[in-house]
Amino acid sequence: MYTESTSHVDEGVGADQVDLKNADNSLGSDSDEGLNTDSTDDDYIGPWRVPRSLHGSLPLDLSDRIPLEIIESIIDCMVQAALVPTAQVCRAWYPRARHNLYSTIRLQSRRCYDLLVQQVRTSPRVKQRLATTDGLIVTHFIERKGDNIPFLDALPLVFADALPALRVLSIEGALRPVMHPSFYLGLLQFKHIVSLRLSAVELSNITQLERIIFACPHVAELGLDRVTLVSGATPVRWGSSRPAHTRSRIASTTSLRRLDFKLSLSSGSLLASVSIVDWLVSSAICTSLRDLEWAVRGPMGAIGHMKHGAFNAQLDRLLETTGTSLSSFEEQWPGLSVGSVIVPNLVHNRALRYWTFTVNINRDQLEDGWSAVATHLRMLLSTVRSYKLQCITIRLGAIIRNEQPALPNTKELSPPQERFVSRTQLRRLHNVMVQPYFGALTAVHVAHPVFYHEGTRCKGNPRDAENIRTDVQQLLGPWHDRGLVKFSHMPDPYV
């Protein structure tokens, strides 16, 4: 959804960030002078403070045999601090490194913003390179010491001409409940934005969110991460006092293809989710949605479990709205015990092809066997009505409670016959798995369990993981017999 390479505009911000002003001066032009690597500093080259140890480690006779396509792929994976020295190596490397340097710009303070404005006005070279920038990330939190002057209100109007190719806009913490009207007018000037992300922002009400989204009529990818509304804000229902021209423009131009919705397990986030989902459903911008990612993060506990049910009700509304257009769905819930089952309803999603979900196994459940796991899986799979389902990914996590600091020992994770589900439960689960809805499956990926204690990620014993693998193979017997089940390491779900 976002470009990997980001240029940071700041002064003295560290080795992993780039000052565009200095980058412009060092890169110079496409001539040999712009690629000069000589320096009188014995330890660092240029203002990026890149150690000399990064240079000259590859023999020329070897580097000459590496195809340029491979070199460019390596450059695409480089951190910002390495891009300028890379551009100074030779002519062949220069275009790709410079392109990545300016592909996405990150503004993290008022100081960054002022510096970039100055460079756009005074440096034709910077202005020329910014014309190819396709991503802008604005990260600004007013509570930072000494940085309490907002700038987002003016940013769209100031940079509308300087960033004509902008396609991806990410706003992190910079939005306020009350923005100057010029902000919304300026957004209309970014005519090619197809991806919009709002993260850690508090809005006045749902109308403000609507104005921001519909100021980008071509947006196809929307990310909402911890978006909350001011306490007491009243949701605006569809069909209220909206101008007729606004309703017609909305209906004709905005149609999301991907929605990434992340919430925190709090009362404010729950209230906001009700208002936001109500608007998403009523505005009909999700009727053509293809990819949906839903994540709720927060602490466990009885209150948390109750809120999970409320969040799940909002998810079901989205799933029903997307209907047959949805082809990929990923859900993620925080350390929730399997006994408190969360079962999204997929009966309306008859074109679903890819599905990712999480099953957490808490230590206290191991004493009762895997019955709860089998029941949870059966309830999840029973809602599937798509004959096109090709790939299922199961994130399997083993959770260690605070009262048991040690990792499970071999006795707790004993062979499956000592703690497995009953034959009746297993048969009921397998009866669901052989339904024709799963006939098109080509792969079932099961992630390795990750053990947690007091919110800290810990390493699991390889023998423990192998025992759980054996159990999962029995749980997924029909699919295992078809050779579909594959195990892999589990990524950190909190990243």
- CA–CA distance, 306 with 315 (Å, rounded to integer): 15
Of 314, 318, 313, 260, the closest CA to residue 284 belongs to 318
Domain limits of the chain? 7-99, 353-495
- Residue 317 has what pLDDT? 93
Q: Which two tokens stand for residue 491?
A: 């990524």
- CA–CA distance, 160 with 189 (Å, rounded to integer): 6
Q: Would you call 211 helix, strand, or coil by DSSP?
A: helix
Residues in the chain: 495
The string over 296-310, giving b where at least 16 C-beta atoms fall within 10 Å of a residue's C-beta and e elsewhere, is bbbebeeebbebbee
Residue 234 is classified by DSSP as P
- Residue 199 has what pLDDT? 94
pLDDT cut 90: percent of the chain above it: 38
- Residue 340 has what pLDDT? 56
- Residue 309 has what pLDDT? 72
- CA–CA distance, 86 with 80 (Å, rounded to integer): 10
- CA–CA distance, 241 with 120 (Å, rounded to integer): 41
Of 294, 352, 354, 343, the closest CA to residue 318 belongs to 294
CB atoms under 10 Å from CB of 458, counted, come to: 13
Q: Are 462 and 454 in contact (CB under 8 A)?
A: no
Q: Which two tokens stand for residue 455?
A: 């919110």
- Residue 39 has what pLDDT? 35
- Residue 33 has what pLDDT? 37
Residue keyed to tokens 């196994």: 361
Q: Which two tokens stand for residue 310?
A: 């409320």
- CA–CA distance, 377 with 367 (Å, rounded to integer): 19
- Residue 67 has what pLDDT? 87
Residue keyed to tokens 């002064």: 11
Q: Are 473 and 430 in contact (CB under 8 A)?
A: no
Per-residue pLDDT of the chain (495 residues), as tens digits, is: 444 445 544 433 333 334 444 444 444 444 433 333 333 333 323 333 444 444 455 666 676 778 888 888 888 888 877 888 888 888 888 888 888 888 888 888 888 899 999 999 999 988 988 999 999 999 877 555 555 678 899 999 999 999 999 999 999 988 889 999 999 999 999 999 999 999 999 999 999 999 999 999 899 999 999 999 985 444 444 333 343 333 334 444 788 999 999 988 776 777 888 899 999 999 989 999 999 999 987 665 544 555 667 788 889 999 999 999 999 999 987 755 544 567 899 999 999 999 999 887 665 555 455 777 888 899 999 999 999 999 999 987 765 444 444 444 434 444 444 456 788 889 999 999 999 999 999 999 998 655 544 444 454 555 566 777 888 888 999 999 999 999 886 554 444
Report how far apart the first and last C-alpha atoms of the chain are (Å, whole number).
16
pLDDT tens by residue, 7-29: 544 433 333 334 444 444 444 44
Q: Are 190 and 161 in contact (CB under 8 A)?
A: no
Long-range contacts of 453-456 (CB under 8 A, 24+ apart): 453/400, 453/402, 453/405, 453/407, 454/402, 454/405
- Residue 428 has what pLDDT? 94
